[in-house]
A and B are shown apart, each in its own frame.
Chain A
Amino acid sequence: MKERVIAVVTAGLTTPSSSRLLADQLAAAVKDELSGRGIESRIELIEARDHAHDLTNNLLTGFPSAELEKVLATVAGADALIVVSPTFSASYSGLFKMFFDVLDDQALAGKPVLLAATGGTERHSLVLEFALRPLFAYLKAIPVQTAVYAASTDWGPNATTLRPRITQAATELVAALQHEAPAQTVDPYDNPTPFEDLLNS
């Protein structure tokens, strides 16, 4: 079977960041799950921070730099997506949102997405449901049922409860991935609508 590509977009700011830590664990779990089913996969990890200037410039100028264009194409071309945002002021971070603001609004249509977020306390965990899930629903992606939140305690005392959530979400993402045919992209520059159709529409 064809190698599946999993793009991971994480918006942590520090090095190392807990968002990156969670992203790595989710990616590893998804890769394990795929390999358990005999499916080869490749993980494409994208740190939004590495593209912070390019993202701002894209908003201001309307086009991505050559480097950012490659990154956006990687996400658009992936079979599934894992996204991780830190929780800032009761929502995803601005940097995280900026990435999806500059991405083509059709790029995620039909793509399975595993939603994840991090924060200092588990009190913010519903950010996944009231902020991330609507965003990806709007983008016509297919967010899997289980979203994963990791608070500071999940790296210590609660680590044993984080692990099964990661596994559950990874299993769901792989199941969704197997059900979905790769999204079809229509290139308007290669197949323009004939002018007679435009005139008569």
Chain B
Amino acid sequence: MQFGVFTVGDVTEDPTTGTTVSEAERIKAMVAIAVKAEEVGLDVFAQGEHHNPPFVPSSPTTQLGFIAAKTSKIILSTATTLITTNDPVKIAEDYAMLQHLADGRVDLMMGRGNTGPVYPWFGQDIRNGIGLAIENYALLRRLWREDVVDWEGKFRTPLQGFSATPRPLDGVPPFVWHGSIRSPEIAEQAAYYGDGFFHNNIFWPVSHTQRMIELYRKRFEHYGHGAADQAIVGLGGQVFMRKNSQDAVNEFRPYFDNAPVYGHGPTLEDFSRETPLTVGSPQQVIERTLTFREHFGDYQRQLFLMDHAGLPLKTVLEQLDILGEEVVPVLRKEFAAKRPAHVPDAPTHASLKAAAERARDLETIVEPAGSVEETSR
């Protein structure tokens, strides 16, 4: 199972001091968080993409490329890549490029983006969100898998004899997750391709998240990629920890009360009950996170949101220390002990490369189907 952090890259005033970091400070803070995440033993760093203030990360591959140079193990991912307003040709090229620079430590999470005005800035219309996600992703897959593409669709200029460059590292496209909070079409899309499905459950009740994940698992099986419990599921989490849980509550409350998204709304206590938000001791975070498995089945990727709402970098880095030292090692052990052997890990570049090599070996063996099965073992 993979553990990591994801960040949206918001520039938000620290409500306890009234100060707001500069864009430069925030961008460098995100780098520091990624480097720290690797240092404390996390597996994934994922960052958002936004084209409107108060967010800074408009150019994820620039930032992830920079982080790739400063790290050596951590997987670099997105949360999310805008499959609607980006040109799929540019996504294909940018992330293949990043794959080469990061030696394959790259995957992506596709998302539509829910900010209406962003669409027209990129020549699109939010009402076509689902259609764009479906058509653009279908093209993206071909660009990564076929050396020369002829293509025509509804939303983009046709392509004739086009080769996206560079080709994916080792001929293996990055693994793709599809993130959606409430669109059954996207769960269906992830299931159809046998891709991963990430539910960013941090602002949602368990009952809703369950329905989306159940749908994805059921359709994953329907499309023949494996049993429902072998589908590749990712979940979010939002935590703030101190040794004594009351200290965590006291310190985090002003950030909660003024946070973008939920600030000035429900109380910290209400929101903690209704959503996965856990503010307390490391042990409380461990216990809460373990319940995700009970609600949603064995899953492959757990990403925590640690750095929003104006929390200072110093605090975030302390949180990452606690996460890496006290929480994740226990979670790894507990989740592994409970997970049946037939539930797979999330695909990585190495596993996809090995699978592609196996598939190629099979193709070269011209034998009746029955003996191919034996040969492949």
Contacts and interface: CB of A to CB of B under 8 A. Distances in A.
Interface of A: 53, 56-57, 60-63, 65-66, 188-189, 192-195, 198-199, 201
Given A192-B184, A192-B215, A193-B185, A60 B265 contact: yes
Interface in B264-319: 264-266, 270-271, 274
A61 B265 contact: yes
A189 B185 CA distance: 9
Interface in B160-198: 184-185, 187-189, 191-192
Interface residues of B, number: 30
A97 B184 CA distance: 28
Given A61-B203, A61-B271, A198 B185 contact: yes
A194 B266 contact: no
B138 interface: yes
Contacts of A56: 265
B185 to A, nearest CB: 6
A65 B188 contact: no
A57 B266 CA distance: 6
A195 B205 contact: no
A57 B185 CA distance: 27
B118 interface: no
A199 B134 contact: yes
A186 to B, nearest CB: 11
A45 B184 CA distance: 33
A60 B265 CA distance: 6
Given A66-B274, A189-B215, A195 B208 contact: no
A193 B188 contact: yes
Contacts of A66: 205, 274
B1 interface: no
Interface of B: 130-131, 134, 138, 184-185, 187-189, 191-192, 203-205, 208, 211-212, 214-215, 219, 223, 261-266, 270-271, 274
Given A63-B203, A63-B204, A63-B205, A192 B262 contact: no
A57 B265 contact: yes
Contacts of A62: 203-204
A199 B138 contact: yes
Contacts of B262: 60-61
A198 B191 CA distance: 13
A194 B203 contact: no
B40 to A, nearest CB: 31
A167 to B, nearest CB: 42
Contacts of B187: 192
Given A61-B271, A63-B208, 10 more contacts: A53-B266, A56-B265, A57-B270, A60-B264, A61-B203, A66-B205, A189-B211, A195-B191, A195-B192, A198-B189
Nearest to B190: A195
B219 A192 contact: yes
A93 B271 CA distance: 27
Contacts of B214: 189
20 contacts: A53-B266, A56-B265, A57-B265, A57-B266, A57-B270, A60-B265, A61-B271, A63-B204, A66-B205, A189-B212, A189-B214, A192-B185, A192-B187, A193-B184, A195-B189, A195-B191, A195-B223, A198-B134, A198-B188, A201-B131
B261 A61 contact: yes
A195 B216 CA distance: 12
Contacts of A199: 134, 138
Contacts of B184: 188-189, 192-193
Given A61-B203, A63-B204, A192 B211 contact: no
Contact of B188 (A60, A61, A63, A195): A195
Nearest to B223: A195
Contacts of B189: 195, 198
A194 B263 CA distance: 38
B224 to A, nearest CB: 13
B77 to A, nearest CB: 24
B266 A198 contact: no
Ranked nearest first, the 9 interchain pairs of A and B with the lowest CB-CB distance are A60-B265, A195-B192, A57-B266, A188-B184, A189-B211, A192-B188, A57-B265, A192-B184, A189-B215
A68 to B, nearest CB: 10
Nearest to B211: A189
A192 B219 CA distance: 9
Nearest to A64: B205
Contacts of B212: 189
A67 to B, nearest CB: 10
